[in-house]
């Protein structure tokens, strides 16, 4: 099946700093999403971005599908940005075995200090 690798595994920042999180995937994808997992466990949608670039406030994301990677940019980080960030994909070449199935990376644990 498709493999998803996220880097770095851990990231520690001072409030106000910028950061870039990376997601590499091993095959073509129909769907790529970025999530932020809050302290209570819920996965909060950040971006649905199988290709191209999107921005939402201090966050932006870029997916280069032909090179099989996606980047999540966080600018002017705040303590509330702390948590785990996941990239998840739906493989395009998996046929029926991809229905409803997102394959997740191991996540990046972001800690923002005041």
Which parts of this chain interact with other proteins (CB under 8 A)? Answer: 30-31, 33, 35, 40-45, 48, 86, 88, 90, 96-104, 106-107
Smallest separation, CB 100 to other proteins (Å) = 3
Nearer to other proteins, 57 or 96 (CB): 96
Smallest separation, CB 53 to other proteins (Å) = 16
Smallest separation, CB 25 to other proteins (Å) = 15
Structure tokens at 5: 């690798």
């Amino acid at each position: 099946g498709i493999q998803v690798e996220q880097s770095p595994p851990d990231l520690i920042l001072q409030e106000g700093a910028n950061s870039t999180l990376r997601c590499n995937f091993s095959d073509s994808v129909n769907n790529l999403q970025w999530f932020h997992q809050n302290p209570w466990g819920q996965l909060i949608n950040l971006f649905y971005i199988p290709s191209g670039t999107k921005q939402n406030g201090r966050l932006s994301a870029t997916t280069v599908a032909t090179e099989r990677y996606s980047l999540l940019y966080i600018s002017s980080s705040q303590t509330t940005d702390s948590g785990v960030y996941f990239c998840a994909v739906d493989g395009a070449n998996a046929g029926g075995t991809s229905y409803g199935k997102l394959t997740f990376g191991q996540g990046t644990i972001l800690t923002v200090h005041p």
